[in-house]
Amino acid sequence: MSTPETRPRYVHLGEIRFDALQADEVVERVRESAVLGRGGRIVTPNVDIVRQIRRDPDAHQHLRAADLVVADGAPLVWASRLSGDPLPERVAGSDLVWSLSRTAAEHGLRLFLLGGSPLAVENTASVAADRLREAYPTLTVAGTCCPPIGFDTNPDLLEELSSRLNACRPDIVFVGLGFPKQEQVISYLADRHPTAWYLGCGAGIDFVAGLRRRAPHWMRRTGLEWLHRLASEPRRLFVRYVVHDVPAACGLLWRSAARRWKRGL
């Protein structure tokens, strides 16, 4: 039976229930489960995902199906603090790619990389795999796939991908396709290969491959990574970040502060 110290703790922000975990605790949970042959799903919502879920209730099902939901976004951590029920830290999917790869190398777990830009000259997932192996020489990458645009709606291509995973038998699968596409693909694969852990990592594979540059550490620590990405890809990200996400973040912070104020009445 769980004691109060070991019982899982959750933080509710709007419609989402987050696991109150630090990054190293997420990695340890995956390791403990993976070495026993048990899989699961990790979703790392940011402000944009929270906004999408508020507008599309069907997208919320991806979070309900997840085994771990951790906050990939400083505004979510700030909102939890304003609400009086703080999350311990931001847990970015792009960071988990590295930390889970290190743990996989140390414990003999097998990786599969799915995603990355299909428009790149080289296979992005393969380049990312090479960089991870350079960082962790004992790492086993069982396979990679940088699928073409539209593969997720093609039953034949999905079945081919499922067959590849069946042959590779990975313990951890990084899926970098963006929300909600990556979660839809993860749902398909997890039903067929339930012994693997799946991480939806967004642009994480592109970051590892060097196709996109992450913000400096000081910008990540201060919650300004979005500004770096906006400056890097203004035409693609302006509407999402400035028109949609900034108001969504402000609304989330306001609602969190209001809930705490009401509880204090």
C-alpha–C-alpha distance, residues 112 and 115, integer Å: 10
Q: Cβ–Cβ contacts within 10 Å for residue 122, how many?
A: 13
Cis peptide preceding 170, ω within 30 of 0:
no
Give the separation between CA 234 and CA 257, rounded to whole angstroms.
31
* Helix count and strand count (H, E) for the chain: 13, 8
Q: What is the pTM of this model?
A: 0.93
Q: Which helix or strand (DSSP H or E) is residue 100 part of?
A: helix 93-107
> What's the confidence (pLDDT) of residue 259?
84
What pLDDT, on a 0 to 100 scale, did the predictor assign at position 260? 85
Residue type at position 10? Y
Chain centre to alpha carbon of residue 32: 19
Q: Tokens 């796939």 correspond to what residue?
A: 145
Q: Are strands 172-176 and 110-115 parallel, antiparallel or unpaired?
A: parallel
Mean pLDDT in consecutive groups of 10 residues from the start of the chain, 265 residues: 56 91 97 96 96 87 95 95 95 97 98 88 88 98 95 96 96 96 96 97 95 90 90 93 93 90 73
Residue with tokens 């209001």: 258
* Residue 239 · residue 247 · CB < 8 Å: no
Task: For 59-124, list the strands marked E by DSSP.
Answer: 68-69, 110-115
> pLDDT tens digit string along 83-107?
999 999 999 999 999 999 999 999 9
SS3 state at 41? strand
Q: What's residue 205's pLDDT? A: 96
Of 166, 167, 113, 161, which is closest to residue 140 (Cα–Cα)? Answer: 113
Residues in contact with 135: Cβ distance below 8 Å, sequence separation at least 6, in sequence order: 98, 101, 102
**What does the alpha-carbon distance between residue 262 and residue 265 come to, in Å, rounded to a whole number?**
5
Query: Do 203 and 212 form a contact (C-beta atoms < 8 A)?
Result: yes
Which residues does 153 contact at the CB level (< 8 Å), separation at least 6? Answer: none
Strand 197-200 relative to strand 172-176, pairing: parallel
Rounded to 10°, the helix 124-135/93-107 angle is: 60
Strands 40-43 and 16-19: unpaired
Apex 52 CA angle, 190 and 177, nearest 5: 45
Cβ neighbors of 165 (< 8 A, separation 6 or more) are: 112, 143, 173, 189, 192, 193, 196
- Predicted local confidence at residue 3, as pLDDT: 42
**Residue 63 CB partners (closer than 8 Å, separation 6+):** 16, 17, 43, 45, 53, 69
Radius of gyration of the chain (CA): 18
